[in-house]
Each structure stands twice: as structure tokens, then as C-alpha cells.
């Protein structure tokens, strides 16, 4: 990946002062008569990660409406559970072991044991869902919770303030992206998740520091470069979605309302990040600082 490419491509914009000179992982796109803030999110945070940077709260205050990956105030827990059972659970007599080479399975089982995760409980899960389950379990043991994440924080504020929330995608689409990965890519995801499990605490501390400080170079090196080693996963989870979102965001630039768009921070960095794609399409955009 070409580091810092999109930073060089950005035009400096006039705008309201919201960050007091400290960079944050958020960009400001200027339309003809509106502003669009594009915030990189950490989906799970801890109580000690609050309060959020003041620039994020200021962007929320300035926006008339919020747009997130999902419409967070309209999620149906029953529907999500049904979809998870449909897509994430193996429907026939096979088990997780049947999807994996013996050496890969043994490696995964050992890594799970090292993390004190009973691998047997995942035998009827698709590899992608096993990876997601393990990641969430490890993070929640460390105190991370989606209830403290950026999206939930902003959703609660918007609900109280009567601001609308829309989604760029549906939960059906998000789960289908993962379920549509080849089994090879799913197994890579599972093995990588297990391999990183023991280092998650320090990795997350460093990532959250970089996220709060708008340290894009660190995020590129430690998030984007790692994921780009898995081309199929990167294409499906990052690249294609960014391309779709850019088209949706461009349509909002003709609006009169100001928007706060919140997506995972990984989607905003590098030359395939949303800010870079918008800049290459002629949109005036800059990182907020």
C-alpha cells in the first residue's frame, strides 16, 4: 500500500474549528452548502476510553443527521440471531474440523487452549463465525464492549436528541460478506485471530492511542498493512465496501443538511480509504485537526 498517498491528495478546506489543533481520526468533506464529517470508529471500547475526543462531540453537535455502517437504532436482535444461525452455523453433519487441514486444525486447537477458549464449543460454526466469536470473547474479557463503542455512544445521543440515523448497509449484507468468503480466506481469518489473541491487550491499547491522536501513519502500518496480506478478505471487507460508500457519500454533498458518517477506522486509511477515494473524485476533504 502507498502510505500517506491520500494525505498528499487532500485540499485544505476552510471550516469550523473543532479540534483545537490536535488531529483526530475524522475527515471533513465540504459540499456546496453542507459539511460531511467522516469519523473512523472503534466499534468496541472500555469505560476508561471515555470521554471521547471533543472534536467528535463537536461534529455530532454540528450534524443534523447520522449515518453509520448499520442503522443502529433499528436493529432487531431476533432477526440478527436468526441470520447468525442461518449463515454462521454449519447446517449439515460436518463440523469445523472437516473444513480445515489436520495441521491447521491442530494449530487452531492449541492456540484456543492457550487463550482458555474451549474450541469444542465452536465445532458447529463456520470458520468466519468462529473467528468473530473468538475475537469478541477475547476483547470482552479485557473489558471491551460494543455498548461503550463509538456507534452506540452516538446512537444513544441521537435517540435522546431526536436526530435521525441511517445505515449504509443492512445486517443481512454484513453477515453475507463474511459468509461469502472462500473457506481458505475464512480459515486464514480464524488462524490469524487465534495467533493474535495473546497480544490483543497491548495491540488495542496502542491502536486506541493512535485512533485518539489521529496517528494515521501508525494505523496504516499496524492495521492496513496487516490486513492487506490477505487479498480476498481485504477486497471483500474493505475495498469493495469503500467504493460503494463513496458513491453514497457523494450524493449527500448535494444536500443542505450536515452529516456525521461513522464507519470503522480501517475504512478511512490508505489509498483505498474513503477520504482518498473522495479526494480523487474531486471532493474537497481534509483530516480534522
pLDDT of 18 strictly over 70: no
Number of domains in the chain: 1
- Nearest-5° Cα angle at 201, 198 to 202: 100
3-state secondary structure of 264: strand
CB-side exposure of 194: number of CA atoms within 13 Å? Answer: 26
78-113 burial string, b = 16+ CB within 10 Å, else e? eeeeebbeebbebeeeeebeebbeeebbeebbebbe
pLDDT tens figures, 95-145:
999 999 999 999 999 999 999 999 999 999 999 999 999 999 999 999 999
Q: Supply 168's cell numbers.
A: 449504509
pTM: 0.90
Residue labelled with grid coordinates 492487506: 228
Q: What is the DSSP letter of 33?
A: S
- The CA distance from 153 to 42, in Å, is 11
pLDDT higher than threshold 60 for residue 4: no
Task: Give the separation between CA 160 and CA 189, rounded to whole angstroms.
Answer: 38
Structural domain of residue 93, as residue ranges? 5-287
Tens of pLDDT, residue by residue over 19-31, are 456 899 999 999 9
Task: Tell me how many helices (H) and strands (E) the chain has.
Answer: 15, 6
Residues 194 and 152: their CA atoms lie apart, in Å, by 27
Euclidean distance between CA atoms 215 and 274, whole angstroms? 17
In a 10 Å sphere around its CB, with 0-12 CB exposed, 13-18 middle and 19+ buried, how is residue 157 labelled?
A: middle
Distance CA 51, CA 97 (A): 43
Residue 91 and residue 101: Cα distance in Å, rounded?
Answer: 20
Instruction: Kindly provide the residue ranges of all beta strands, DSSP E only, lying in 42-133, ordered along the sequence.
Output: 65-68
Please say if the pLDDT value at position 2 is more than 80. no
Nearest to 1 by CA among 169, 229, 282, 246: 229
Query: Hunting for cell 493512535 — which residue is that?
Result: 210
The predicted-structure confidence for 163-217, as pLDDT tens digits, reads as follows: 999 999 999 999 999 999 999 999 999 999 999 999 999 999 999 999 999 999 9
C-alpha closest to that of 27 among 257, 196, 249, 244: 249
d(CA 20, CA 115): 42
Task: Provide the pLDDT confidence category of residue 249 given band limits of 50, 70 and 90.
Answer: very high
Amino acid at each position: 500500500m502507498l502510505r500517506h498517498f491520500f494525505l498528499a491528495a487532500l485540499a485544505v478546506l476552510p471550516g469550523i474549528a473543532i479540534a483545537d489543533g490536535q488531529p483526530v481520526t475524522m475527515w471533513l468533506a465540504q459540499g456546496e452548502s453542507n459539511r460531511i464529517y467522516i469519523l473512523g470508529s472503534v466499534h468496541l471500547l472500555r469505560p476508561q476510553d471515555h470521554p471521547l475526543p471533543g472534536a467528535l462531540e463537536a461534529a455530532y453537535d454540528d450534524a443534523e443527521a447520522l449515518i453509520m455502517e448499520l442503522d443502529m437504532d433499528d436493529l432487531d436482535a431476533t432477526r440478527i440471531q436468526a441470520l447468525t444461525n442461518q449463515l454462521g452455523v454449519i447446517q449439515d453433519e460436518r463440523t469445523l474440523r472437516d473444513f480445515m487441514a489436520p495441521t491447521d486444525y491442530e494449530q487452531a486447537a492449541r492456540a484456543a487452549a492457550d487463550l482458555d477458549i474451549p474450541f469444542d464449543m465452536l465445532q458447529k460454526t463456520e470458520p468466519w463465525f468462529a473467528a468473530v466469536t473468538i475475537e469478541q470473547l477475547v476483547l470482552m474479557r479485557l473489558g471491551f464492549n460494543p455498548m461503550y463503542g463509538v456507534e452506540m455512544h452516538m446512537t444513544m445521543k441521537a435517540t435522546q436528541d431526536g436526530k435521525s440515523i441511517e445505515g449504509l448497509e443492512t445486517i443481512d449484507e454484513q453477515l453475507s460478506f463474511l459468509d461469502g468468503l472462500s473457506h481458505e480466506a475464512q480459515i486464514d481469518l480464524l488462524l490469524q485471530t487465534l495467533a493474535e489473541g495473546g497480544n490483543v491487550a497491548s495491540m488495542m491499547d496502542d491502536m486506541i492511542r493512535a485512533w485518539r491522536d489521529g496517528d494515521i501513519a501508525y494505523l496504516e502500518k499496524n492495521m492496513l498493512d496487516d490486513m492487506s496480506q490477505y487479498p480476498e478478505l481485504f477486497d471483500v471487507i474493505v475495498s469493495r465496501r469503500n467504493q460503494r460508500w463513496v458513491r453514497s457519500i457523494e450524493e449527500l454533498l448535494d444536500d443542505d443538511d450536515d452529516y456525521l458518517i461513522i464507519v470503522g477506522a480501517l475504512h478511512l486509511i490508505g489509498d483505498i480509504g474513503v477520504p482518498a477515494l473522495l479526494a480523487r473524485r474531486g471532493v474537497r476533504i481534509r483530516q480534522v485537526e
